[in-house]
Amino acid sequence: MNFKKVLSSAMVLTLAGSLLAACSNNNGNNNAASPDTGASPGASASAPANNAPQEFRFTLASEPPSLDPALMTDAQSSIVASGLFDGLTRLNSAGEPEPAIATKWDVSEDGKTYTFHLRDDAKWSNGDPVTAQDFEYSWKRALDPATASEYAYMLFYLENGEKFNAGEITDASQVGVKAIDEHTLEAKLISNTPYFVSLVAHYTYAPVNKNAVDGKPAWAAEASTIVSNGPYLLKEWAHGDKLVLEKNPNYYNAANVSFTKATISLVEDESTVFNLFETDKIDWIGAQAGSVPSDQVPGLVKEGKAEIKEIASTYYYLFNTKEKPFNNAKIRKAFSMAINRQAIIDNVTKANQTPAFGLVPASIAGVDGKGYRELYPDTGFGSENVEEAKKLLAEGLKEEGMTAIPATTLLYNTSEGHKAIAEAIVDMWRQNLGVEMKLSNQEWGTFLETRDAGQFNVARAGWGADFNHAINFTYDLIHPKSLNNDGKYENAEVGKLLDEAVVAADEKTRIDLIAKAEKIAMQDDTAVLPIYYYTTVTMKKDGFEDVVSDYAGHLDWAFGKKTK
Amino acid sequence: MIRYILKKFVIMLVSLFFLVTTTFVLMNAIPGSPLQSEKATSEAVQKNLEAYYGLDKPMIEQYGIYLKNLVQGDLGISMKKKFQAVDKIIKESFPYSLKLGIASVITSIVVGCLLGILAAMHHRKFIDNFAMVIAVIGLSIPSLVMAPLLQYSLAVKIRAFEVAGLNGPLDYVLPTIALSAASIAFIARLIRSTMIEVLNSDFIKTAKAKGLAGHWIVWRHALRNSMLPVVTFLGYLTAGVITGSVVIEKIFAIPGLGKFFVQSVSDRDYPLIMGITIFYAVLLMVCRFLADIAYVLVDPRMRAGGKGK
Amino acid sequence: MNNDTNRGSIRPEQFQKIDRSNYVFERIERKRLTAWQDIRYRLVSNKLAMTGFYIMCVVLLFAIFAPMISPHDHFTNDLPNANQAPSWQHLFGTDDLGRDMFERTWKGAQISLFVGFAAALIDLIIGIIYGGIMGYYGGKVDEAMNRFAEIIYAIPHLLVTILLLVVMEPSLTTIIVAMSITGWINMAWIVRGQIMQLKNQEYALASKALGAGAMRIIFRHLIPNAMGPILVTLTLTVPSAIFTEAFLSFLGLGVQSPVASWGTMINDGVKSMTLYPWRLMFPALFLSLMMFAFNVFGDGLRDAFDPKLKK
């Protein structure tokens, strides 16, 4: 990895001259439409062999609500945070953990105690060294009820983490994290959690500087007060407008940081983002940093201007399994079989998504270096067959003692994309099953409340990975006790299998148990109606390398570079 | 005059109190909460959050606390934009809306008046129709269509302007056109219709009879009297335009107040909703107040009456 | 002296006595017109206004009849034929789900126009009553009513709208109600301003002196004379209501799919403006055409109503 980066840096130097020339052409030329090469040959020849201007520009649809690692909750913040903060580990674009502040770690026999060995040359932007005590302080702070962190549950893996957060114990020293010395951190977990090394790369586990944070709740709201330890420093934060990051010269791995500056504009409108890209004002679209208008995607992909990448998110519809008619598994299955997922992908979503029949997307890891879906394909879980669906529907109705599907409504949150999918699916049900379903869209806040309260027949949902493990898509979505199981799907056996999976002794058994639970829920019960596994469509300007969408579909840019 | 202003001020305060109360009730009646997110949080975390933002207290107490802080000039801290003070958010975003708003109001008045006068002076002739057609076309195209069309044709295809942002004076051109098109038409029509009336009235005829030159009549007598409804309208236009058009701010990526307001409502960011509503209301009232005074100054009849209302 | 002589030159014999029995005094030679005939005459002679009127009629006719005749319906999807350019099969092309744009455009016209007219009517009724009372009584009554209006006006529309759409079932009625809650205020203010100007004019004072009640004076004398600005405002209310509906669609608070208004269609169409222009063009074209027609017709109407503009 490092070697590759050094090599690329050398390439940067050799290619720098030509780029500079190209740039000056563009700036001096009024007629931007013609990419002329002969306008200023002299300038091109005399350009010093300098570094190419290493600036990276992209957009976010909304401002990060906070840059305080303990308070961040959304993809937008995480994209900025990946430039500002360095945790114990960092995930590479495949979603595998790599050493960052921690250079190595030891795991105890039972898999419950982790000892991280920290590097001694990491510094905060205020000059303080980054120590194990910082991590202890930060993790306890995130769990402290007084901090009111929404993502505190990410730290419930720690011993007594949940109890401390709930206020059941007030003594923070009982929480399972301790700095042995300046550069050794010990974490005690409630169970064997092999993916803990990936978890600590999550921003909720990122360190904060006690001096900058203590007693200053607003420390992360302004560029002038924020103290960070990552590859970049926050130079300017014009709220609602833009964020400007500059390279951190004191970063321990500064040699591998190529961009000297990153400008992040806050632009909500999709077409405007696309127009900014077209007029060379930004270098990147996609992976939660702006999105390519869906109608444009097929054309752009064909021309090779845009790329499509699978990400770890699933688009599905919830059935309200507590109410007629969708309490009946046969009826649920009939509805799932009566739609044509590929037609929706080809005509509506247009980004080459994969039709989904299971819960866990393909980019989630399994065991032994294989993807989860490679080991347990979802193809057997369901099929699309209109005749079969009609038969199942009739059987299901008979079981419920009904003659027809009563008036039902499909609920979705307001967005053009969701609307088009909902319209297409409702029409398929109408044409294939003869079922008339009403559509109802609600504005986001209202939608969440209605869905949480179970006031729907069928409701749109989506789930993105918090960490790279199948448990994140199964336990959370179909375990009877999960708060995110909004369809209130209940199958004791699924619950039992998942409970066993959480405490399983080894990874192979765990994954096996998860797969078994998923199969029951999806093949037998059709707990939810999966539609597709998300992809992200990305576009980048020529010359940018190592700026990619990571496994979860978030822009990973901090170690990118411009080669020409 | 001082008595009048003082009285107005007290009335404003009372209205403001009603407004704060209504908004507070409405806001809390809307489903959803600033603390909810797509991924469910545990009850303990939810409780922590509610306690932190004081949302666990009974509503009447929350209201009391809010009022108390408000009286002390404290608009509170945003619940979604962590630890950003509401007054700071307004202070930072308002200048964008204000600058764009002023540009649009000036454009509307100048262009609107010109078209209106032109039309009225050539009533029922070709120029009248032509001016009105131009004005009405501006009114007929929704900003939802006009803004993207302007952006695509002038910024992407021709590249005469920037796609988004408000960094240089040239960047104001596209959003200003899109924002003022409708009010240009409104003012032009208003001016035209009242001016035709005024031009036919006795005092103008007298002025004509006294031998005043045509354009002098227009400027000195007619326009002044035609400005009356425009002045009334202006109070609202200014407030409306200054607080920003949501559509235009979104399309041209302008970090104005309108954008924050829509966001605050969909985020259920209670303090920010309250703050912007109050700010908006005060602005509106001040503009109204100024319009009232201007009304008195402009209308000779009102002045003669001396009652000042 | 001279005068006397001159006078003397006209002699009584030169005069002829005529029969007065059939003579009508102060006969008006011009054809007698009632007020309405007069208005109609002036309106018809205004070419621009009539152009607007015809456009309105044609669009209305299409909105009513085109969906009946069209072989397509507005909700059936035909995914393989999505985003087809206009052809004989689909006059206005198809949208992203392969639905016929011709059918949807006119179906959308029905929705948009209904919203526009209904909202304008409500605004007009409330606005005239409220504004009339405000302007006529003035003083304390005016002050209090004005305050109330101002408070309503200052409450953010978005808040009210979301609340209503949540409390009431999302539907056309809800949208119209949500718009009317604040929409009438502008009209009321316009009426108020007019009434305040007119109420001290001689005819109003005369009427008052003759013992006419307030309501009679307001509605018989003042409102008809204020009709000009009211009509101008009204012709603006219809389009602005249609625009507001479009804006609500933009926020996702518009009509529920698969029903579409011009606003929702424009919203969807703008996104693919460069690739499938017909999806934006047709709804936007007819929306703009209708707005244009409304406005020029309204202007014409205003001119026609105003007796001062009589030639």
Q: Do B288 and C150 touch (CB under 8 A)?
A: yes
Query: Is the predicted pLDDT of residue A97 greater than 80, yes or no?
Result: yes
Instruction: Test B193 with C308 for CB contact under 8 angstroms.
Output: no
Integer CA distances (angstroms), C180 to B23, B37, C240, in order: 18, 33, 12
- Measured between beta carbons, the chain A residues lying within 8 angstroms of C96 are 295, 347-348, 420
Residues near B88 by Cβ (< 8 Å), separated by ≥ 6? none
What distance in Å separates residue B17's CA from the closest CA in chain A?
27
Mutation choice for B interface testing from C227, C291, C306 by most B CBs within 10 A:
C291
- What is the value of pTM for the model shown? 0.84
For residue B93, the chain A residues in CB contact (below 8 A) are 239-240
Cβ within 8 Å, pair A443-C77: no
Cβ-Cβ contacts under 8 Å, B83 against chain A: 66, 68, 217-218, 220-221
Which residue has tokens 């009709």? C227
Of A63, A148, A269, the CB nearest to B49: A148
Contacts of C256 in chain A (CB under 8 A): 438-441
Q: What is the pLDDT of residue A38?
A: 34
- Residue A68 at interface with chain B, using a CB cutoff of 8 Å: yes
Instruction: Please identify, in words, the CATH class of the domain defined by C35-309.
Output: mainly alpha
Q: What is the pLDDT of residue A432?
A: 94
CA-based nearest distance A404→chain B, Å? 33
Q: Determine, for residues C197 and B129 on separate chains, whether the beta-carbon distance falls below 8 Å.
A: no
List the 400-439 stretch of A: residues with Cβ below 8 A of B: none
Closest CA of chain C from B145, distance in Å: 7
Q: Which positions 129-168 of A are in contact with B (Cβ < 8 Å)?
A: 145-150, 152-153, 162, 165-167
* Angle, in degrees to the nearest 10, between helices C262-271 and A416-433: 110
3-class secondary structure per residue, A167-192: CCCCCHHHCCEEEEECCEEEEEECCC
CATH fold of B86-308: MetI-like fold (1.10.3720)
Q: What is the pLDDT of residue A213?
A: 92
| B160 neighbourhood in chain A, CB within 8 Å | none
Position A382 scores a pLDDT of: 80
Closest chain C CA to residue A446: C166
A295 vs C75: CB contact, 8 Å cut-off? no
Q: C76, A427: Cβ pair inside 8 Å?
A: yes
Q: Taking CB atoms and an 8 Å limit, are B83 and A241 in contact across chains?
A: no
The answer to whether the Cβ–Cβ distance between B142 and C246 falls below 8 Å is yes
Q: What is the mean pLDDT of residues A99-115?
A: 93
User: Closest Cα of chain A to B146: distance in Å?
Assistant: 14
Residue A33 has pLDDT above 50, yes or no: no
Using CB atoms within 10 A of its CB, is residue C103 exposed (0-12), middle (13-18) or buried (19+)?
buried
Per-residue pLDDT tens for A58-77?
Answer: 999 888 888 999 988 888 88
Q: How confident is the model at residue A408 (pLDDT cuts 50, 70, 90)?
A: very high
Say yes or no to pLDDT of A24 above 80: no
Instruction: Mark yes or no for CB contact A150/B40 under 8 Å.
Output: no
Phi/psi for C87 (5° steps) reads: -150, 180
CB contact under 8 A, C162 and A446: yes
pLDDT mean over A347-372: 90
Which residues on chain C are in Cβ contact (under 8 Å) with A296? Answer: 275
Closest residue on chain C to B145 (Cα): C270
Comparing CB atoms, the residue among B36, B252, B255 nearest residue A449 is B36
* C-alpha dist (Å) from residue B179 to B140, B201, B250, C116: 13, 34, 12, 22
Cβ-defined contact of B139 to C295 (cutoff 8 Å): yes
Q: Decide which of A147 and C58 is more confident.
A: C58
Q: Say what the pLDDT of residue A456 is.
A: 93
Say yes or no for a CB contact (<8 Å) between C272 and A293.
Answer: yes
- Least trusted range by pLDDT, from A45-54, A414-423, C169-178, C271-280: A45-54
Do B251 and A152 lie within an 8 Å CB cutoff?
A: no
Q: Closest-CA residue in chain A for B92? A: A239
Touching partners of C (3+ C-beta pairs < 8 Å)? A, B
Rg, C-alpha atoms of chain B = 24
Residue A9 has pLDDT above 50, yes or no: no
**Integer Cα distance of C232 and C298 in angstroms:** 6
Measure CB to CB from residue A484 to each of B39, B48, B152 and give the nearest one: B39
The predicted pLDDT at position C6 comes to: 53
Confirm or reject contact between A454 and chain C (CB < 8 A): no
The minimum CA-CA distance between B198 and chain A, rounded to whole Å, is 46
The residue of chain A nearest to residue C264, with distances taken between CA atoms, is A416
- Whether C204 and chain B come into contact, CB under 8 Å, resolves to no
DSSP reduced 3-state for A281: coil
Q: Which residues of C touch A429 (CB under 8 A)?
A: none
Question: Which pLDDT belongs to residue A41?
Answer: 36
Q: Which residue has the tokens 């099953």?
A: A433
Q: What is the mean pLDDT of residues A365-377?
A: 88
- Residue B33 vs residue A115, higher pLDDT: A115
Q: Does residue A266 sit at the B interface (CB-CB below 8 Å)?
A: yes
| Percentage of the residues of chain A whose pLDDT score is greater than 70 | 91
**Blockwise average pLDDT, block size 10, chain B, 309 residues:** 76 82 84 78 79 88 92 89 88 88 89 88 83 84 88 90 88 91 84 80 76 69 72 67 74 87 84 88 78 69 44
A62: chain B residues, CB-CB within 8 Å: 263
Asked if the Cβ–Cβ distance from B163 to A68 is below 8 Å, we say no
User: Is there a contact between A483 and B41 if contact means CB atoms under 8 Å apart?
Assistant: yes
**pLDDT category, A20, cuts 50, 70, 90?**
very low
Chain B residues with beta carbon closer than 8 angstroms to that of C308: 197, 200-201
Per-residue model confidence (pLDDT) at position A53? 80
- Report the pLDDT value the prediction gives residue A307, as an integer from 0 to 100: 93
> Read out DSSP for chain B?
-HHHHHHHHHHHHHHHHHHHHHHHHHHHHSS--TT--SS---HHHHHHHHHHHTTTS-HHHHHHHHHHHHHTT---B-TTTTT-BHHHHHHHHHHHHHHHHHHHHHHHHHHHHHHHHHHHHTTTSHHHHHHHHHHHHHHHS-HHHHHHHHIIIIIIIS-SS-SS---SGGGGHHHHHHHHHHHHHHHHHHHHHHHHHHHTSHHHHHHHHTT--HHHHIIIIIHHHHHHHHHHHHHHHHHHHHT--HHHHHHTT---HHHHHHHHHHHT-HHHHHHHHHHHHHHHHHHHHHHHHHHHHH-HHHHHH----
Burial of A368 (0-12, 13-18, 19+ CB in 10 A): exposed
Chain A residues inside the 8 Å CB shell of B85: 218
pLDDT digits (tens, 9 = 90+) for A242-292: 999 999 999 999 999 999 999 999 998 889 999 999 999 999 999 899 989
CB within 8 Å: B49 and A162: no
Set of chain B residues whose Cβ sits within 8 Å of the Cβ of C154: 15, 19, 277, 280-281, 284-285
- pLDDT the model gives residue A28: 32
**Beta carbons of C156 and B185 less than 8 Å apart:** no
- Helix C277-305 and helix C47-69, axial crossing angle in degrees, nearest 10: 140
C275 interfaces chain B, CB cutoff of 8 Å: no
**pLDDT tens-digit profile of A511-556?**
999 999 999 999 999 999 999 999 999 999 998 989 999 888 899 9
Pick from C154, C263, C266: CB nearest B280: C154
Q: Which residues of chain C have pLDDT under 50?
A: 1, 310-311
Subunit contact A348:C272, Cβ cutoff 8 A: no
Do A149 and B45 make contact, defined as CB atoms within 8 angstroms?
yes
Inter-chain touch C79–A343, beta carbons under 8 Å: yes
Burial of B149 (0-12, 13-18, 19+ CB in 10 A): middle
User: Which among C46, C193, C306 is the nearest to B197, CB-wise?
Assistant: C306
pLDDT, chain A, mean: 86
Q: At residue A19, does pLDDT exceed 60?
A: no
Percent residues over pLDDT 90 in chain A: 59
Above 80 in pLDDT, residue A50? Answer: no
